[in-house]
Structure 1
Amino acid sequence: MKKIIVFFILILGFQFMKAQSFQKTGKYKTVTEIKENGSEQPTCIVNLIRLGGISENVFTFTLNDIELFEDIFITTLENPGLEGISEVIKMEVEYLACCAQVESHYFMVTDKNKLVPLPQLTNIYCENSDTDSQYTFPNQEYGIEGNILETETLYKDTAEIKYVNLKQSLTWNDNKVNTPKNTAITSY
């Protein structure tokens, strides 16, 4: 069962990366720290580190379940098409049980090297899963100028995109993320 789930995630991940243009990167890494807290399960702190020159901690979080934790994947999107944003970092934290749960953290990097986090997205992949949620940026397929789209992609049995639903649209104006009210758009 675990092999089927991992295979399915690899298929979706390949298709997702192809559609999203996020690429593996060596500019960032994660460093974990286990802290004994007197309870049965220790706390695991994860730091996202920017490499190069002087290494810098850019984000810290605690793993939800250290026993189910599997891996962390870091990819970046260069030139996402938003004014003042040089790249987007996507950090995916994977937990495995009977299904896989992947928490996606997105950070937009400003031209001044400051991070602007987007709300976390969570996907659950089971044996028959055929959808996932992600952010789509203006310079990507299905992107809209000046907008960050939270989209849900439905896949065919062949792992090809069947259609993409718009769940929410965020705008990037005056160096801040805004959540305007709009209606959903579906692309086939």
Structure 2
Amino acid sequence: MNNQNKKNSRNLPLINDKIPFPNVRLIDATGEQLGIFNISEAKNLAKEQQLDLVLISDKSDPPVCRIIDYGKYKFSQEKKAKEARKKQQTAQLKEVKMRYNIESHDYKVRLNQATRFLQSGDKVKATVTFRGREIQHADLALDLLKKMSSELEGIADLQQVPFKEGRTVLMILSPKSKT
């Protein structure tokens, strides 16, 4: 048995004859609780309906089994797991670059970019760069970044306050937590 099959066999629920418990709490195909049954009675009920007896939870007492089509159940579980993996995407750090003397339209474009990044769950690093002697206007860059953070206040938390680093001034915003 290779590693992939071993991994899959651990995640699969027990079905039909592989269920080791003498008594089980039974749920039918429609989701209605039928009560506590002897395992052989439960298997017979499943067989009569041409479905499978699947162990849903072995944590309770007695364990919970359900009468369902195992193929469909397995497919839906795999689909749920795939969706969960998709939603596990980690936040990336996206950068929005601008100059301290940015035009108002260009500023709005950068603001829209930052908004889009934050709404998709990514962090935003807003950077203002300087060339040559422009570095003497660092206070204007700080004001610009403070303005941006105040405009994004509804959807973002200020993770790193604006600070000067070499020939750039930057700040980091993270999406507001949905709690």
TM (norm. structure 2) is 0.19
Q: Which of the pair is proportionally richer in strand?
A: 1
Structure of greater Rg: 2
**Counting helix residues as a fraction of each chain, which structure ranks higher?**
2
User: TM-score by structure 1 length?
Assistant: 0.18
